[in-house]
């Protein structure tokens, strides 16, 4: 990957990681990712905004081979995929100063063992001149760590947003095309990483909305030369109003739970509820996270395993609990052989969610007609709640 021009004196550096398929040993990356850094060569001074994952250090060092001086290294975020190469950059440019928020300074010392005297803290709204370009630092805490910030270049109306508005997407496109591929990658990124902080993100976006922005350059994925594309998407995702959407996530070992799931999905769909169904034995959890962004209701379907819920279903419950989507309602359906504590386990696992628990439906063995009638009642209950919440058109 070569250094690429964004605007006069502004360049994208970094690496496209085409083959990476897992992030933080946890998050699936079906489309790879990128680690974006940016070089701004002002008339008097030069700044490097972020670096790259340590595994790609050789690439950014090659991109900087003909850059004689870097005066400032801006660390928006201490996580290693952005700051991990700073020690190598400092070795090449020993006179450079690292600029970071006060919280980020200590994290850079803790995580990367950077010398304290190489780091200068910048306050919210502080500016530094490069001569022809002015860097304004905007603190955006909890997007998605407590120390994060953005940089705004006034002369170009350019926002360098680090993880905010990012997308795990390996692409040769420098600028985002307003298409479904970019939208889904950005939504997946939001769902898996940003969603737990949506109330704080809302405040940060309100702060950023005071700035005239012509281009957004995140640290993952392509840049946005049509900012409303991603800004409007985020405003939708971070709102507190869900859509008329039901997520059904389940496991079925001997088909009993599957029969209940099929009946529930069919009945809810016939009532005009948008349903997304996930077999947790094969589901990409990122797809489940994306579905949870908009969902009003989740129903978890589980057989009983040693008196408890199936481990995959508990994992899904824990995921929803950690991501804290704007769900309003939840329920459990499933089957058991002789005894079960599945409902109690799942209710405990989603304890952080502010949801109304709709009475569950559990059947002993294969479902009987009265069990299917109970599923119809559950579907009616979901419909009534969506209607009363004003979600049905």
Tens-place pLDDT, residues 154-203: 999 999 999 999 999 999 999 998 789 999 999 999 999 999 999 999 99
C-beta of residue 367 within 8 angstroms of C-beta of residue 289: no
Mean per-residue pLDDT of the chain: 97
The answer to whether residues 74 and 127 belong to one domain is yes
Tens-place pLDDT, residues 51-105: 999 999 999 999 999 999 999 999 999 999 999 999 999 999 999 999 999 999 9
Residue 392 lies inside a defined structural domain of this protein: no
Q: Can you give the pLDDT at residue 393?
A: 75
pLDDT at residue 23 above 90? no
Domain count, the chain: 2
Report how far apart, in Å, the C-alpha atoms of 304 and of each of 152, 256, 309, 338 are.
54, 11, 5, 9
Mark which of 182, 217, 237 sits at the end of a domain.
Answer: 237
- β-partners of residue 16 are 34
The answer to whether residues 131 and 255 belong to one domain is no
Report how far apart, in Å, the C-alpha atoms of 381 and of each of 9, 32, 207, 226, 298 are.
59, 41, 40, 42, 13
The answer to whether residues 233 and 309 belong to one domain is no
C-beta of residue 6 within 8 angstroms of C-beta of residue 217: yes
Q: Can you give the pLDDT at residue 122?
A: 98
CATH number at residue 191: 3.60.15.10
pLDDT band at 1 (very low <50, low <70, confident <90, very high): confident
**DSSP 8-state symbol, 193:** I
- β-partners of residue 279 are 250
Residue 393 lies inside a defined structural domain of this protein: no
3-state SS assignment for residue 147: coil
The answer to whether residues 170 and 25 belong to one domain is yes
Tens-place pLDDT, residues 260-275: 999 999 999 999 999 9
State pTM to two decimals. 0.95
The answer to whether residues 105 and 66 belong to one domain is yes
Q: Can you give the pLDDT at residue 113?
A: 97
Q: Can you give the pLDDT at residue 178?
A: 75
The answer to whether residues 363 and 340 belong to one domain is yes
The boundaries of the domain holding residue 171 are 4-237
Measured distance CA(263)–CA(267) in Å, rounded: 6
Query: E-assigned strands of 221-349?
Result: 245-250, 274-279, 297-305, 308-309, 329-336
C-beta of residue 105 within 8 angstroms of C-beta of residue 121: yes
pLDDT band at 48 (very low <50, low <70, confident <90, very high): very high
Tens-place pLDDT, residues 219-260: 999 999 999 999 999 999 999 999 999 999 999 999 999 999
**Structure-block tokens of residue 265:** 């999905």
CA atoms lying within 13 Å on the CB side of residue 239: 12
The answer to whether residues 375 and 300 belong to one domain is yes
The answer to whether residues 207 and 312 belong to one domain is no
3-state SS assignment for residue 215: strand
CB atoms within 10 A of CB 46: 20
Mean of the pLDDT values across residues 37-42? 98
272-295 burial, b at 16+ Cβ within 10 Å, e below that, comes to: ebbbbbbebeebebbbbbbbbbbb
The answer to whether residues 23 and 48 belong to one domain is yes
**Structure-block tokens of residue 386:** 């969506």
Mark which of 178, 212, 237 sits at the end of a domain.
Answer: 237
Q: How distant is the alpha carbon of residue 391 from its chain centre?
A: 25
Q: By C-alpha distance, which of 253, 205, 211 is closest to 127?
A: 211
Tens-place pLDDT, residues 290-332: 999 999 999 999 999 999 999 999 999 999 999 999 999 999 9
The answer to whether residues 160 and 25 belong to one domain is yes
**How much of the chain is helix, strand and coil, in % rounded to 5?**
35, 25, 40
Residues 6+ apart with CB under 8 A from 224: 165, 175, 176, 215, 216, 217, 218, 230
């Amino acid at each position: 990957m070569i250094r690429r021009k964004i605007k006069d004196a502004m360049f994208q550096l970094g690496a496209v990681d085409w083959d990476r398929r897992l992030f933080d040993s946890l998050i699936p990356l079906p489309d790879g990712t990128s680690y974006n850094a940016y070089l701004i060569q002002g008339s008097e001074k030069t700044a490097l905004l972020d670096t790259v994952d340590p595994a790609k250090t050789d690439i950014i060092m090659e991109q900087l081979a003909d850059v004689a001086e870097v005066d400032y290294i801006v660390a928006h975020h201490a996580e290693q995929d952005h700051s991990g190469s700073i020690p190598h950059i400092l070795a090449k440019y020993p006179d450079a100063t690292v600029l970071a928020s006060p919280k980020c300074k200590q994290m850079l010392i803790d995580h990367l063992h950077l010398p304290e005297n190489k780091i200068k803290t910048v306050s919210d709204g502080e500016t530094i001149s490069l001569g022809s370009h002015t860097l304004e630092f905007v603190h955006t805490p909890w997007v998605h760590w407590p120390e994060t910030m953005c940089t705004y270049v006034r002369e170009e109306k350019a926002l360098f947003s680090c993880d905010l508005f990012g997308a795990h997407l390996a692409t040769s496109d420098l600028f985002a095309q307003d298409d479904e591929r970019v939208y889904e990658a950005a939504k997946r990124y939001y769902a898996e990483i940003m969603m737990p902080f949506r109330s704080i993100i809302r405040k940060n976006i309100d702060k950023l909305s005071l700035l005239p922005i012509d281009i957004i350059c995140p640290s993952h994925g392509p840049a946005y030369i049509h900012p409303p594309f991603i800004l409007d998407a985020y405003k939708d995702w971070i709102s507190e109003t869900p859509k008329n959407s039901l997520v059904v996530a389940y496991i079925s070992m001997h088909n009993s739970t599957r029969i209940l799931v099929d009946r529930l999905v069919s009945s809810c769909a016939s009532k005009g509820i948008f349903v997304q169904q996930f077999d947790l034995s094969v589901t990409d959890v990122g797809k489940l996270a994306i579905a949870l962004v908009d969902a009003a209701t989740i129903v978890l379907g589980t057989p009983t395993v040693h008196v408890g819920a199936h481990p995959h279903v508990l994992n899904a419950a824990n995921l929803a609990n950690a991501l804290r989507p704007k769900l309003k309602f939840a329920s459990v359906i499933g089957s058991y052989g002789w005894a079960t504590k599945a409902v109690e386990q799942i209710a405990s696992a989603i304890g952080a969610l502010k949801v109304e628990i709709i009475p569950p439906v559990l059947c002993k063995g294969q479902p009987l007609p009265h069990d299917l009638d109970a599923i119809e009642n559950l579907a009616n209950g979901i419909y009534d709640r969506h209607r009363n919440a004003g979600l049905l058109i």
